[in-house]
Amino acid sequence: MTSPHETLYQRAQEQYVIGNHLLDVTYPLVHDPKLFLGIVNNIVNSLNACVSAILSYEKYHNLIASYNLSAQNNLNEKLSLLQTRSPSRNKIPQKTLQLLRDLHAILELHKKSPIEFSRAGKMVICSKEFDLKTISLNQIEEYLYGTKELLEITNKILTTPRTTIS
C-alpha cells in the first residue's frame, strides 16, 4: 500500500508527463498556442502535487507540527507553510515556488478573462482592464524545466530518511 505522499508524487509525475507530451508531441502537430493553457494547467497540477507530497511527507514524519488539512486546497497556505517550516531542510529554490504562484495566477487570469487569442505563435490573455499576458513556447519550456527540477527535489526529499521531532 502506498502512502499519501507517494500517491501525490506519482500524480505530480503523471501531470508532468502529460504536459511534456502535449508540448513535445501534440503541439508540433497542430501548432496551436491555445494548447499552452492546457500545458500550464498540467504544470500547475504537477507543482501543486509536489508541494502537497512534501508537506504530507513532513507531517507523516512529524517534521512539521501543524499541517492543517483544510490548507490542502489553498495554494498560498501550502506555500507559506513550506517556506516557513522547511526551507533549510528541503532546499527548494524560491524561484521554483514563485513559478507555481505565477502559473497559478495565469490560470486565474484565464478563468476571469473576457477574451484570449493566439498571435504570432503566442497565447494572449486579456484581463478585464485589457492588460495583456502572453505565453510563448520558450516560456512553456522554461516552466516544464522548473517543474522537472521540483520533481527531482521532491523525489530526493521523499527518498531521504528523516528523523521525527519528539
- Give the integer Cα–Cα distance in Å for 9 and 21: 18
CB 58 within 8 A of CB 85: yes
Q: Are the CB atoms for 70 and 55 separated by under 8 Å?
A: no
Alpha-carbon distance of 31 to 120, in angstroms, equals 11
Single-letter amino acid, residue 59: K
Under 8 Å CB-to-CB from 4, ≥6 apart: which residues? 56, 60
Q: Is 102 helix (H, G, I), strand (E, B) or coil?
A: helix
Give pTM, 2 decimals.
Answer: 0.90
Per-residue pLDDT tens digits for 120-142: 999 999 988 889 999 999 999 99
Longest dimension (CA), the chain: 58
Q: Which domains does the chain have, with CATH numbers?
A: 4-159 (1.20.120)
Q: CB 42: neighbour CB atoms within 10 A?
A: 23
Q: Identify the pLDDT of residue 90.
A: 81
Q: How many Å from the N-terminal Cα to the C-terminal Cα in the chain? A: 26
Digit-coded pLDDT (tens) for 59-111: 888 877 666 555 445 788 888 888 877 666 788 888 988 999 999 999 999 99
Residues 6+ apart with CB under 8 A from 55: 64, 67, 78, 81, 82
